[in-house]
Amino acid sequence: MIKKINDYRLNKLIFLSLFFYICFFTLNIQAQKKAQIFNPKANAKKDINEAVAIAKKQNKNVLLQIGGNWCPWCLKLHNFVNNDKVIDSLLNANYVFIVVNYSKENKNKEVLEELEFPQRFGFPVLVILNDDGKRIHTQNSAYLEEGKTYNRKKIIDFLNNWSVKALDPKTYL
């Protein structure tokens, strides 16, 4: 009788262990699938040139978010910006937004050199280009953080302060 109880407990323990392992493995795969914001195979130079051309036509600046899928703060910023209707609206009204990958698969060294090494601030890092493709600002995203997330007002102020309108001297006459 004791042997049957011990066998039952052992089988139950094996079953539960296997069940939790499968659940954890499945959730981990799903999380990785969802977190594919940055594409290591993307041609950053081409993407930036296309964004600059669109910005020129639409009288906007270009906003680059540089980072990688390996970076939790990069994913957090991207989701924070895209899930807030006000921020997303400001972004779409004033910028052509693209992500630029930085990872072990593709560090985009040439592009980052042309952008004057924004990675010196860590990741994610934001870079603003005017409609001629000239870098006009590099933003250390740590200054936009608050606790374990981002500060909504700081991001809104950042987007407003670097818009084409904010940089136009006529705005202040």
pLDDT in tens, 125-137: 999 999 999 999 9
Domain that holds residue 2: 1-34
Pair 93, 153 in one domain: yes
Mean pLDDT of 10-16: 58
Tally of domains within the chain: 2
Q: Please give the pLDDT value at position 147.
A: 96
Q: Which amino acid is at 127?
A: V
Pair 70, 132 in one domain: yes
Pair 60, 121 in one domain: yes
Residue 39 lies in a domain: no
Mind listing the pLDDT tens digit for each residue in 61-98?
Answer: 999 999 999 999 999 999 999 999 999 999 999 999 99
Residues 132 and 119: their CA atoms lie apart, in Å, by: 22
Provide the 10 A C-beta neighbour count for residue 55. Answer: 22
Pair 100, 158 in one domain: yes
**Which residue reads 């990741």 in tokens?**
123
Q: Please give the pLDDT value at position 105.
A: 96
Pair 103, 153 in one domain: yes
Please say if the pLDDT value at position 58 is more than 90. Answer: yes
Residue 151 lies in a domain: yes
pLDDT bin (cut points 50, 70, 90) of residue 20 is low
Q: What is the pTM of this model?
A: 0.80
Pair 13, 60 in one domain: no
Alpha carbon of residue 61 to chain centroid: 18
